[in-house]
Structure 1
Amino acid sequence: MAVVSDTKTPNLRCLKAAFLAMEPSNCLISLARRTSGGSLTEEVQNFILELCVNSSDISCNLSYMMNILKKVIVEAESTCEVVVEGLYEQFAKIALLQVYVLRREENRILKKISFFLPSGIDDRSSQRNLVVSLYCSLNLLEGDTGCALWPSCLFLSEFILSYPKLFSDKVCFEVGSGVGLVGVALAHVGASKVILTDGDGSTLENMKCNLELNHLRSGKVQSRYLPWEFAAESELLKYEHDCVLGADIIYDPKCVPHLIEVLRMLLKSKRTFILPEEKEASVAYLATVIRNKETFNYFLRAAEEAHLSVMDITQDWQPLNLLPYMLSYDRTSVCLYRIS
C-alpha cells in the first residue's frame, strides 16, 4: 500500500489513475477528451505517452498498452492537426516486443487503484491518493471470478474510506474477500485487526500475494481459508470481531443457506471491552449488485428465518466519489445493506 502526493491538475490526475487501473480504452479516451476540451491536443498526447506508457513497466500488460496507443493514434489522426511522433514509435516498439520477447502469458494483470482522498476525511489524508496494487484475473470465463475486481468491492472500499470512524480500532471480518481490496481499505482507516477469508484456494493465494504487494503486516491483516459449508461456530467466534463485511457474495442460490448460517454465527459474536457489562453486538455491511432478484429475495427470506435484520442503507450512507476517473464503475448499480 502506497500513499503518494499528486501535484497534477485534477483532469490529468484522473487520466493517469485510469491508465494505472487499466480502465477500458474507450473510458480512457473519454477522459482524455474531457481533459483537452474535446480533442486530443499535443499536450494530452504527450502526457499519455510520457507519464502513462513510457513510465510504466513495458514488459507487463503489453496488450493493454498497445490497445491504448492504437486508440490514441486513431483518435488523434481523426481530430487533430498534429499527432505526436513518439506515439507511432512506441506502438511499433511494443508490437515488436509482443512478437520477439519470449515469455509465458500471465493469467494475472497488475492494476493500481487510486482513491482520491479529500483533506479532512481522516488524519492520513491531505489531498493525497491511496494507491492499491492488485493482481487481478484475466480468466473470468474460466471460473476465476474470485480474483476479479467487482463494482461492489469498489463501493464497499469507498464506503470504508468515507466513514473511517465506523471501522477504526475495530476487529473486522470479511467473508469472501476476493482480491483483498476491502482489507487494504480497512487497514488504511486504522482497523485494529482485519481477518480476510475465502473458500477458494487459488483466490486465497492471490489475495495473500496482494497483501504482501501492499506491505501489510500479517499480524494486523490475516487471511484464512473458509468454505462456508464447513464453517464452525467455535472457530468463527474466537476472533471476537466487531463487524463483518462482504462484497458481491449473494450470487448463487445454492450457496445462500451456507452464507446465511455463516452470517448468523458471526453476528452472534459480542466483543467484551474493559468492563464485563461493556459489550457490543457485531454488525455486518454487505455491498451487492442485485443481478438476480429471485436469488436476492431467497436471501432475504432465509435471513428472516434466521432472525437476521436486513436494512437497506444505500441512500443514507452514500460513500464519497473517491474514484472519479473510473468510468467503467457504475456505483448506482450497487446496494449497501446493514445486517444485525
Structure 2
Amino acid sequence: MAAQELHPSTPSSLYMLSAFLAMEPAESLVAFARVCGEGSVTEKVQRFIWDHCLSKADGKSHAPYGRNFLKKLITEVELNHGVVLDELYEQYAYYMTSLKDDNLVKGNARVCKFISFLFPDGCSGLPSCPNSRKLVVPLQCSLNMLEGDTGCSVWPSSLFLSEFILSFPELVSNKSCFEVGSGVGLVGICLAHVKASKVILSDGDLSTLMNMKRNLEYNNLNIGTAGPGRVTEGPNMVKCIHLPWESASESGLQDLRPDVILGADVIYDPVCLPHLVRLLKILLTQKKSCSQKQNDSWQGSLSDSISVDDKVNHINRWNANEKDDRLDGKVNGAKQANTNASGDGFDACGGKTIWDSTSSCGAREGPLAYIAFIIRNVDTFNQFLSLVDQANITITDLTETLKPINLLPYMQSYDRSKISIWLTLSIAF
C-alpha cells in the first residue's frame, strides 16, 4: 500500500491502530509502521500515528506505554536518517518530564485496552460479524499479569475462547452460558454479542469481580446478580456472581442450570484443581428443562461427527513428542479426537455447518463445557487429567476440529498455536 493512501480502514494502518489501542509491544507497532511506509517510517506514517493514535490517547492511562512506543519510533526514524515530526518530539519530552519511573511499574496499575476483533472479507454472513466488520471491546485491565493481579489481566486463552465464540456463534446463541473464572469479562462480552439467552460470569476474587462489572458497563451491558432467590432479567443483561471454587455447592448452584459452561486458562494452580473439577462436575450433572433440551440437536450432531470413542475418557494432543503413559494408559500423548472427522466444521467465515444436524434431539441431557488452556506445567496438567478421570468426566479435543477464524491478526504477542480447547461431552456413570 502506498504511503499516501494511509487511512484507518486500510489493512496495514488498521493493524497498526488496533495494535496501539490493544497496547501491543512497541516493536510490533514499529514493524507495522514500516509496512505502512513501504519499508520506512515516513513523515506521512508519523502523521497518521500522531493523528489517530497519540493525540487521541486518553491522558496518562496511556502515558507509560506511549513513552516507550515513542522512544522506539523516534530511534527507528533517526537511525534511518529520517525527519521526526515536531509533535512526536514534544510529546516524548512531555512524557520524560511528567512521568516518574517509580510510578510506572509499581502497584496494580490499571489501563484501558481496546481489543479489536477484525472480521476478514467474506464474513458478512456470519451472525457475529458487525456491519463494520470490526468489534471493539474496551477493557480496563492490569499491567501486572504475574504479580497479584492476574484476574484483571487479558490472558491468551480468553482471547482464543472469544475468537472461538465469535467464529462459531451457533454453539452458544440462544443458550444459557456460565463462565468459571471470568477475569476481565471478555468472554462474557462476546457471549452477549452473539446473543446467548443468558450470560452468567463468575470469579472468586472480589476486586476482579468489581473490575469485571466495570468492563461490562464500558461495553453497554446491564449488570445483574444470580443466586438462590435472586434472578435478574432484561435486555443486554449479564449476571455476575462471586464464586470461590472451594465454597461452591450443589445447593448454591441449583438455579443456574446452564446449557454451556466455559473456562479460559483455569488449569493453572494445583491447589485449586480439585475444587475446579468438583465445580465442573456439579454444573455438568445438572439436568436441563424441556425448553433447554430443544437446543441439543446441533450438539448431538457434533458428538456424532467427531466419532468419539466412549471407552476413551480423555484425549490429549498438547505435545506430539511427549512420551506419556498417564492415567494407566487411558490417554496417549498427541492422540487426536477428530481422526474420523472431515472438514473444519464450518466454511471459513460463512457460518455454514458442514456436519449433518439431523441427529435426534436430546441425545445428551446435560450441559457442555468448553475449556481453553495453555499447558504451562506438565505436572499440574497431569493432575487435572487424573482428577477429571476420577470424576468420570469424558473429554475430547476440538483444537483441530473447530479452528476459530483469526480475528486478531495484528496481535503478534498472542500465540494461538500453544492453546488447546477441549469439550466435556458428558459425565459417565
Q: TM-score, normalised by structure 1?
A: 0.92
Equivalent of residue 202 in structure 2, options 178, 187, 197: 197
Give the equivalent residue in structure 2 for 1:146.
Answer: 151
Number of residues of Structure 1 aligned to a counterpart in Structure 2:
333
Q: Secondary structure at the match of 2:61?
A: coil
Following TM superposition, by how much is the alpha carbon of 1:7 offset from its aligned partner in structure 2, in angstroms? 5.8
CA RMSD, Structure 1 to Structure 2 (Å): 2.2
Matches within 5 A, 1:185-264: 185-218=190-223, 219=233, 220-264=237-281
* Deviations, residues 11-40 of structure 1 (Å, cap 9, x unaligned): 111111110101111111122222222211
Distance in 1 of aligned mates of 2:187 and 2:282: 21
Equivalent of residue 329 in structure 1, options 414, 419, 426: 414
Going from structure 1 to structure 2, the CA distance change for 1:244 and 1:274 (only over 3 Å counts) comes to: closer
Equivalent of residue 111 in structure 1, options 110, 113, 116: 113
* Deviations, residues 45-103 of structure 1 (Å, cap 9, x unaligned): 1111111000221332211111111111100111253222221122123334436xx99
Letter in 1 for 2:144: N
Q: Is the 8 A contact 1:172 1:244 kept in 2?
A: yes
Tell me whether 1:304 sits opposite 2:389 in the alignment: yes
Distance in 2 of aligned mates of 1:276 and 1:260: 24
Going from structure 1 to structure 2, the CA distance change for 1:124 and 1:273 (only over 3 Å counts) comes to: farther
Distance in 1 of aligned mates of 2:118 and 2:249: 39
Distance in 2 of aligned mates of 1:253 and 1:81: 53
Give the equivalent residue in structure 2 for 1:170.
Answer: 175
* Deviations, residues 262-294 of structure 1 (Å, cap 9, x unaligned): 000000123213498975420000000000111
* Deviations, residues 127-165 of structure 1 (Å, cap 9, x unaligned): 421111111112334311111111001000000000011
Gaps of 5+ in 2: 1-6, 224-232, 295-360
Q: Is the 8 A contact 1:242 1:270 kept in 2?
A: no
Larger Rg, first or second structure (1 or 2): 2
Letter in 2 for 1:116: L
Letter in 2 for 1:253: P
Q: Secondary structure at the match of 1:130?
A: strand
Distance in 2 of aligned mates of 1:252 and 1:185: 26
Q: Secondary structure at the match of 1:153?
A: helix
Going from structure 1 to structure 2, the CA distance change for 1:290 and 1:222 (only over 3 Å counts) comes to: same
Letter in 1 for 2:138: S
* Deviations, residues 170-210 of structure 1 (Å, cap 9, x unaligned): 10000000000000000000001111001111111111111
Range moving further from structure 2, 300-309 or 170-179: 300-309
Q: Secondary structure at the match of 1:281?
A: coil
Distance in 2 of aligned mates of 1:40 and 1:250: 42
Q: Secondary structure at the match of 2:56?
A: coil
Range moving further from structure 2, 246-255 or 216-225: 216-225
Range moving further from structure 2, 275-284 or 160-169: 275-284
Q: Is the 8 A contact 2:199 2:238 kept in 1?
A: yes
Distance in 2 of aligned mates of 1:273 and 1:73: 63
Give the equivalent residue in structure 2 for 1:19.
Answer: 20
Q: Secondary structure at the match of 1:271?
A: coil
Give the equivalent residue in structure 1 for 2:226.
Answer: none
Distance in 1 of aligned mates of 2:17 and 2:175: 34
Following TM superposition, by how much is the alpha carbon of 1:8 offset from its aligned partner in structure 2, in angstroms? 1.6
Gaps of 5+ in 1: 1-5
Distance in 1 of aligned mates of 2:56 and 2:39: 25
